[in-house]
A = this chain, B = another copy of it.
């Protein structure tokens, strides 16, 4: 295959298969060329990916040598995207009765959820995550987006046990906002003991739901390596029970009477 055709085929492979380790002979055979040519192709792809802020190709030499694509948004690209999100969320038409904020349009847009996932996956890429965990329902698209960039599976904690998933572990927890006792359940079969997990959710107020997930995951001896939330609410009345997390935006003030919303950058950008 000619270089120009190989570059298209290889670029497609890397974008579709992040973190998948392949040895060079695999591509030599597939694309009917030489190792030297593939090596030059990889140099070109790596340099474009790096220039565009899309990550890089990680190469290893020797017997176990090969290549994999590490998709890492550059810091600048992540912050530019977060700033766009922040501005979108400040639109006063988003105010709902009760001071809630309408976000379903953003969470329903596969391109936006993919970009949100890319930002978290870039931030967590060196943590050796084995599985992404979320709780039904709104965090699900974000969890899949993160997982697709980390090349790991997703496990969904449910609030209602489903008969179709076999035996399961459940816990009770107190929801921060409603102060009610709720339950969470995870099928035994869905998570291996001692896995490195990353928790993803769309929204965090006091953090009761995420604390519930942490407690449930402790039953599986999981290591919670990272927690990512799209939006946190800045609520001075309630003490936050989760401390170590990454948020993209912080909803600081929703003034229903004045129809004004104040959205700031989350601790992803401020580093706090």
Contacts and interface: CB of A to CB of B under 8 A. Distances in A.
A52 interface: yes
Interface of A: 3-5, 7-9, 11-12, 15-17, 44-45, 47-49, 52, 54, 96-98, 100-102, 104-105, 108-111, 113-114, 136-137, 140-141, 144, 147-148, 151, 153-156, 158, 163-166, 187, 189-190
A141 B163 contact: no
Given A7-B11, A47-B5, A104-B189, A110 B154 contact: yes
8 contacts: A5-B47, A17-B111, A98-B164, A108-B153, A108-B156, A110-B153, A136-B137, A137-B137
A132 B138 CA distance: 16
A194 B242 CA distance: 44
A113 B144 contact: yes
A137 B158 CA distance: 9
Contacts of A155: 108
